[in-house]
Amino acid sequence: MIIYGTNGSHVRTEPLPGVACPACHTADRMHASVFSRYIHIYWVPLLPYRKPAVALCQHCQGIWELAQLPAEADDIKQALRAKKKATRAPWWQWSGLAVLTLGVVWAADASIRDGHDNDAFLAAPRAGDIYTVRNDSSRNYSLLKVVRAHANTVDVIASAYETDDSQPVKKLNHAQYFGKDTVTLTHLDLLGMKNQGQLTDVDRETE
Ligand SMILES: [Zn+2]
């Protein structure tokens, strides 16, 4: 269950000079208060969505939202709209969205980095590299492990198991799961497999 809701905060209160109260007609005692409503998820502000504003009289304590102001108080309406327009939601009301955006950018960046690594690892294979491969007919994933790397070819052994998990390394990368027969693949074979989506990832243990 996701807990979300809305909340609001006061942003500013400022005098509205030159206008008179629509109720008590006292001059120069009107003020404008602008608030900002925001959506929160688990009480973390996600984004602001509305800026309610009220006009209030400090003499008679009268208070009006924009729509409640009488037609003849057009000067107050205009001043209130101007204050509303000039008011920005406080930055912290965007914090949830900022965190989400950072998360998405980070994830995209990580997958690009991962893609670059794959190309680099394929171009210069090493013994111990693990290729994630996808079976064309079953659509399941399995592993090939490089046991020897030569200038233009690699000798690989294949995992005897496959899984529908597209990140099968944790599950399948155990010595006893691999067969003993080696298959030799050329650099060109590997690139072809990668371009056809048959080789989906390369992992290398960093020492
Ligand atoms: Zn008043």
Tens of pLDDT, residues 88-127: 999 888 888 888 888 888 887 777 777 677 888 888 899 9
Distance 62 CA to ligand 1 centre (A): 6
| Cα gap 89→35, rounded to integer Å | 8
Tokens of 161: 């198991």
Rounded to an integer, what distance in angstroms lies between the CA atom of residue 157 and that of residue 180?
6
Query: Is residue 190 in a domain?
Result: yes
User: Stretch 158-183: mean pLDDT, rounded?
Assistant: 91
pLDDT tens for 34-62 read 999 999 888 888 889 999 999 999 999 99
Whole-number Å distance, alpha carbon 29 to ligand 1 midpoint, is 7
Q: Which domain holds residue 150?
A: 124-203
Asked, for residue 156, whether it belongs to a domain, the answer is: yes
Number of domains the chain contains: 2
Are the CB atoms for 24 and 59 separated by under 8 Å?
yes
Q: How far is the CA of 87 from the centre of ligand 1 (A)?
A: 24
One domain, residues 131 and 63: no
pTM above 0.85, yes or no: no
Domain co-membership, 130 together with 52: no
Residue 75 lies in a domain: yes
Residue 105 lies in a domain: no
Do residues 131 and 66 both lie within one domain?
no
Co-location of 19 and 93 in the same domain: yes
Same domain, 85 and 14: yes
- Helix or strand run (H / E) with residue 133: strand 130-134
58 CA distance to ligand 1 middle (Å): 7
The answer to whether residues 136 and 77 belong to one domain is no
Centre of ligand 1 to C-alpha 33, Å, is 15
Residues 22 and 55: their CA atoms lie apart, in Å, by 10
